[in-house]
């Protein structure tokens, strides 16, 4: 039997060759410098914000070079798959409006000519590539049982050798074709291993787009390329897919950095062009002075669903992730307020090499700024959409009182220096609840009266105001003048300067009085503009709320 026959025996039923696949998946017709990259998650659970961070960077690098960004699903580890894993990945990208040019579009659909983009549907392709290695004596079947592998490890531990299946420890590496044939006839189970040509004593150097020059030992492990279930390992699938899909840049988490010697070795064994590698440092959290990786287990903000649930606008998250990716982005944004983020040029060289701090407060600040730039009607549309999913009570109120709601959101908005009080859609109800009778009435009220706390005095101020000074048709100036008049008449200073000169001449000042009104209407001492609040609440509500006190 020759090696070709051996390959057929080990991986039977394959009709296509590597050349056939190369014809099926031709070079991409793109301009010079176009980056072709991918997001290649495993559908093993809810995505981490770090995955999204990678996707944002990859999308951006591809877009700004007129390249391609595609979604590939890496599901070769079938034991770790979760239900609806692919749906969750796609939803997380959709939620953040990250569009891909080709790849998987649902559990059962995909788009693009380099399909299939789900690895478990590419088995024959991997086998064709593995057969090539077997035919050329660069891969071999390994029949080792669990016990034999344990034995090898125990020996290595005993003699303090490096652990792994390599060199003289690789028992099946030098089996003859006859021996292999015999064992197969015997029904022995096998997997396929790479016959690594590497030398661990030698250093392998490469240039990472982000981390710069790296030096690691060559790979000499006879890594598994085809597993017992017939599917490839991650390493082997990476070689085949990124070759056939013509990936120019592999942008991924730096937990894969140490695999570059294996990956480069694989590409070279096939005489394929090695893609460029860009390893992204993890997102870190400052945990009481100690920096550690953001963890889905410990940090709610590590899950991508958190942002959607909290109603933190997508745009703010993308802005913040871009800020972390390239530290000069913030300054650029400051100088280019009218430009779109698309005009910013992201660079690998400006990315952190060791780890970037993820600071939720900073993100929320960016979000406040961002939301303050939107029109009231846009806030309305967004909070309505958000609440349809997460707060039906608020959704119903928004629908019932559309015009009023937009007026509420418009208080101190659409002006040169708008208020910046909402960081998320879920913040809004928490801040404007008192504007809706339905919410105000059911609340247990915790009135925050400050300077004036005497019940009789409060009643007196409210009654005087309603009976003598209130008119729902007053404009802002008239309203304010009447407040001053009332202050004077009740023995409070209407002029702050005078009050400061002679505080003892007065019971208090105009601010104390308006605060009584403010608290009576909203329970709060700090609110947006009181005049506008009163305009929107209207006479019936105002009277009703005053009577409660």
Binding positions for Zn ion, rule: CB under 5 A: 142, 144, 171-172
Interacting residues of 521 by C-beta distance below 8 A, sequence separation 6+: 434, 530, 533, 534, 537, 542, 545
Residue nearer to ligand GLU on the CB measure, 256 or 480: 256
CA distances from 39 to 96, 117, 125, 508 (A): 14, 11, 20, 64
323-352: which residues touch ligand GLU (CB under 6 A)?
none
255-284: which residues touch ligand GLU (CB under 6 A)?
256
Residue nearer to ligand GLU on the CB measure, 217 or 253: 253
Residue nearer to ligand GLU on the CB measure, 91 or 445: 91
Pairing between β-strand 249-253 and β-strand 102-104 as defined by DSSP bridges = unpaired
42 binds, among Zn ion, ligand GLU, none (CB under 5 to 8 A by kind): ligand GLU
Distance CA 290, CA 347 (A): 28
- What is the pattern of x (binds ligand GLU, CB under 6 A) and - over residues 73-92? -x------------------
Distance CA 85, CA 119 (A): 14
Q: Whole-number minimum distance, CB 55 to ligand GLU, in Å? A: 10
Rule CB under 6 A: choose which of 238, 243, 308, 382 binds ligand GLU.
238
Residue nearer to ligand GLU on the CB measure, 164 or 253: 253
118 binds, among Zn ion, ligand GLU, none (CB under 5 to 8 A by kind): none
Interacting residues of 448 by C-beta distance below 8 A, sequence separation 6+: 519, 523, 524, 525
Q: Whole-number minimum distance, CB 7 to Zn ion, in Å? A: 18
Residue nearer to Zn ion on the CB measure, 182 or 298: 182
Give the residue at shortest CB distance from ligand GLU.
252
Q: Whole-number minimum distance, CB 520 to ligand GLU, in Å? A: 57
Distance CA 316, CA 95 (A): 13
Residue nearer to ligand GLU on the CB measure, 122 or 238: 238
The pair of three-digit structure tokens given for residue 535, joined into one six-digit string:
């305009």
Residue nearer to ligand GLU on the CB measure, 256 or 306: 256
Q: Counting contacts by CB under 6 A, is residue 211 touching ligand GLU?
A: no
Q: Assess contact for 11 and 192: CB atoms under 8 A.
A: yes
CA angle 485, 491, 494 (to 5 degrees): 45
Residue nearer to Zn ion on the CB measure, 50 or 141: 141
40 binds, among ligand GLU, Zn ion, none (CB under 5 to 8 A by kind): ligand GLU
Residue nearer to ligand GLU on the CB measure, 89 or 374: 89
CA distances from 110 to 56, 113, 242, 287, 459 (A): 21, 10, 17, 41, 68
Residue nearer to ligand GLU on the CB measure, 47 or 141: 47
CA angle 82, 83, 86 (to 5 degrees): 85
48-77: which residues touch ligand GLU (CB under 6 A)?
74
How many residues in the shown chain lie near ligand GLU by CB under 6 A?
9
513 binds, among Zn ion, ligand GLU, none (CB under 5 to 8 A by kind): none
9-48: which residues touch ligand GLU (CB under 6 A)?
40-42
164 binds, among ligand GLU, Zn ion, none (CB under 5 to 8 A by kind): none
Q: Assess contact for 250 and 275: CB atoms under 8 A.
A: yes
238 binds, among Zn ion, ligand GLU, none (CB under 5 to 8 A by kind): ligand GLU
172 binds, among Zn ion, ligand GLU, none (CB under 5 to 8 A by kind): Zn ion
**Quick count: other Cβ atoms within 10 Å of Cβ 124?**
14
CB burial of 272-293 (b: ≥16 within 10 Å; e: otherwise) equals bebbbbbbbbbbbbeeeeeeeb
Helix (H, G, I), strand (E, B) or coil at 69: strand
Helix (H, G, I), strand (E, B) or coil at 4: helix
* Nearest 10 degrees: Cα torsion 444, 450, 455, 457: -140
Q: Whole-number minimum distance, CB 153 to Zn ion, in Å? A: 13
Residue nearer to ligand GLU on the CB measure, 193 or 252: 252
Helices (H), 391-471: 392-400, 402-409, 425-432, 437-442, 455-464
**Quick count: other Cβ atoms within 10 Å of Cβ 171?**
15
DSSP type of residue 272: P
Residue nearer to Zn ion on the CB measure, 34 or 177: 177
- What is the pattern of x (binds ligand GLU, CB under 6 A) and - over residues 241-260? ---------x-xx--x----
95-154: which residues touch ligand GLU (CB under 6 A)?
none
316 binds, among Zn ion, ligand GLU, none (CB under 5 to 8 A by kind): none
144 binds, among Zn ion, ligand GLU, none (CB under 5 to 8 A by kind): Zn ion
The dihedral built from the CA positions of residue 250, 256, 260 and 266, taken in this order, carries a sign that is negative
Q: Whole-number minimum distance, CB 77 to ligand GLU, in Å? A: 9
Please compute Rg for the chain using Cα positions. 33
Segment holding 212, helix H or strand E? strand 212-217
Q: Whole-number minimum distance, CB 131 to ligand GLU, in Å? A: 24
Give me the residues that bind ligand GLU (CB under 6 A), please.
40-42, 74, 238, 250, 252-253, 256
């Amino acid at each position: 039997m020759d090696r070709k026959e051996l390959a057929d025996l080990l991986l039977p039923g394959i009709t296509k060759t590597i050349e056939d696949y190369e014809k099926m998946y031709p070079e991409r017709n793109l301009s010079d410098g176009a980056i072709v990259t991918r997001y290649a998650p495993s559908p093993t659970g809810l995505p981490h914000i770090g995955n999204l961070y990678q996707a944002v960077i990859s999308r951006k690098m591809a877009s700004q070079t007129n390249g391609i960004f595609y979604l590939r699903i890496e599901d070769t580890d079938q034991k770790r798959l979760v239900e609806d894993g692919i749906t969750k990945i796609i939803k997380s990208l959709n939620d953040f409006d990250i569009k891909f040019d080709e790849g998987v579009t649902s559990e059962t659909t995909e788009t693009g000519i380099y399909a299939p983009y789900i690895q478990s549907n590419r088995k024959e392709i991997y086998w064709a590539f593995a057969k090539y290695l077997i035919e050329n004596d660069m891969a071999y079947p390994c029949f080792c049982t669990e016990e034999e592998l344990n034995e090898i490890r125990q020996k290595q531990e005993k003699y303090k050798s490096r652990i792994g299946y390599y060199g003289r420890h690789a028992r099946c590496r030098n089996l003859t074709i006859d021996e292999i044939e015999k064992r197969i006839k015997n029904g022995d189970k096998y997997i396929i291993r790479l016959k690594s040509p590497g030398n661990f004593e030698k250093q392998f150097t490469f240039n990472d787009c982000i981390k710069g020059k790296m030096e690691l030992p060559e790979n000499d492990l006879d890594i598994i390329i085809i597993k017992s279930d017939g599917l490839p390992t991650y390493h082997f699938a990476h070689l085949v897919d990124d070759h056939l899909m013509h990936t120019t840049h592999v942008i991924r988490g730096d937990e894969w950095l140490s695999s570059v010697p294996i990956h480069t070795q694989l590409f070279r064994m096939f005489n394929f062009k090695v893609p460029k590698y860009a390893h992204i440092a993890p997102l870190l959290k400052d945990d009481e002075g100690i920096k550690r990786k953001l963890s889905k287990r410990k940090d709610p903000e590590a899950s991508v669903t958190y942002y959607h649930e909290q109603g933190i606008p997508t745009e703010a998250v993308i802005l913040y992730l871009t800020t972390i990716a390239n530290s000069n982005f913030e300054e650029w944004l400051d100088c280019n307020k009218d430009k779109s983020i698309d005009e910013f040029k992201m660079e690998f060289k400006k990315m952190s090499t060791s780890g970037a701090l993820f600071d939720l407060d900073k993100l929320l600040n960016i979000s406040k700024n961002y939301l303050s730039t939107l029109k009231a009607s846009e806030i309305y549309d967004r909070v309505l959409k958000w609440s349809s999913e997460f707060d039906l009570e608020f959704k119903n109120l928004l629908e019932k009182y559309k015009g009023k709601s937009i007026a509420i959101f418009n208080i101190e908005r659409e002006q040169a220096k708008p208020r910046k009080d909402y960081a998320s859609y879920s913040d809004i109800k928490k801040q404007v609840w008192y504007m809706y009778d339905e919410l105000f009435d059911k609340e247990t009220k915790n009135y925050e009266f400050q300077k004036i706390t005497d019940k009789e005095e409060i009643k007196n101020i409210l009654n005087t105001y309603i009976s003598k000074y209130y008119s729902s048709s007053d404009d802002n100036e008239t309203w304010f003048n009447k407040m001053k008049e009332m202050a004077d008449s009740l023995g409070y200073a209407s002029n702050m300067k005078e009050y400061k000169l002679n505080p003892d001449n007065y019971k208090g000042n105009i601010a104390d009085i308006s605060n009584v009104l403010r608290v009576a209407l909203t329970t709060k001492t700090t609110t947006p503009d009181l005049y506008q609040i009163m305009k929107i609440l209207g006479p019936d509500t105002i009277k009703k709320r005053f009577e409660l006190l």
